[in-house]
Amino acid sequence: GALDIGVLDYTSVIRAHARGIPFVYLTPGILTSTATPGFAIIVPADSPIRDAPDFTNKTIATNGIGNIGQLATDVWIDRNGGNWQSVKWVEIPLATTLDGLQQKRFDASPLAEPWLTVAREQGFRLIFPSKNPIAPYLGNGWITTTDWLRRNTDTARKFVAAMREISRWANTHPAAAASLLAKFTKQDPAVVEKGKRYFFADTFTPAYVQAIVDAAARYKFINAGFP
């Protein structure tokens, strides 16, 4: 109850839903597709890893075990010739990920902006999993609890309308959106300006969510799928 609304990736919420935790999505966030991938897998410049088969028996770091980055990476490795079950996953805070890679404490990490730009400028190599078979899918979105939604229906409607409007605006005004992003997240404007622009979904497409649910069940993130 300390927060009313938060942003969270879909795999984490799917796992919560499967365990009976009453979260509900209000509005979608980033839409990942082969044209606009939502993340890249970071490896050191001298790493022998080039493609999915090279991740067999490797250690990969993520900022949250069981999140969308892990699921999308597992699926990509599996569908492109690697052994996803041989991968060891470790949980590392985002702020220490690049140092951990540099120190060879793990082999790779799936990251999003602004870490992609920072990694590139520090000499790391980025692997974009463009042949991901669950794309397009929704990467994250804004959630609340069913109880808060029941008690604040009018506020929720206003929030959804505002997020729909800003998503459409950001997709068509990337330079202006970058300036606001740097201001409100207190990031370096130069880093934001160089960064990759994401595409924001303004409405839910059930098939994009179903793809993640099905993959979560297939790759044992949840015990069974659901519609």
33-82 pLDDT per residue, tens: 877 788 899 999 999 999 999 999 999 999 999 999 999 999 999 999 99
Lowest mean pLDDT among 14-28, 101-115, 130-144: 130-144
pLDDT (average), residues 152-161: 98
pLDDT (average), residues 97-115: 95
pLDDT (average), residues 3-10: 95
Distance CA 114, CA 110 (A): 12
- How much of the chain, in percent, has pLDDT values that exceed 90? 80
Whether pLDDT at 19 is above 80: yes
Please say whether the beta carbons of 146 and 42 come within 8 A: no
Going by pLDDT thresholds of 50, 70 and 90, the confidence category of residue 164 is very high
Tokens of residue 148, six digits? 């808060």
Distance CA 107, CA 116 (A): 16
| pLDDT at residue number 192 | 86
| pLDDT at residue number 221 | 96
| pLDDT at residue number 101 | 97
Which runs of consecutive H residues, i.e. helices, occur in the chain?
Answer: 10-18, 68-79, 94-102, 115-121, 146-151, 153-172, 174-185, 189-194, 206-218
Lowest mean pLDDT among 45-49, 96-100, 128-132, 191-195: 128-132
| pLDDT at residue number 91 | 97
| pLDDT at residue number 134 | 83
**Average pLDDT of the chain?**
93
Whether pLDDT at 132 is above 80: no
Whether pLDDT at 127 is above 80: yes
For the four alpha carbons of 45, 47, 49 and 55, in that order, the dihedral sign comes to: negative
Per-residue HEC secondary structure of 7-29 comes to: EEEHHHHHHHHHCCCCEEEEEEC
| 192 vs 82, residue with greater confidence | 82
Going by pLDDT thresholds of 50, 70 and 90, the confidence category of residue 7 is very high
Tokens of residue 58, six digits? 């490797």
Whether pLDDT at 133 is above 90: no
Q: What are phi and psi of 61, to 5 degrees?
A: -100, 145
pLDDT (average), residues 136-147: 93
Distance CA 137, CA 195 (A): 21
The DSSP string of 161-189 is HHHHHHHHHHHH-HHHHHHHHHHHHT--H
Closest to 27 measured CA to CA, from 163, 172, 206: 163
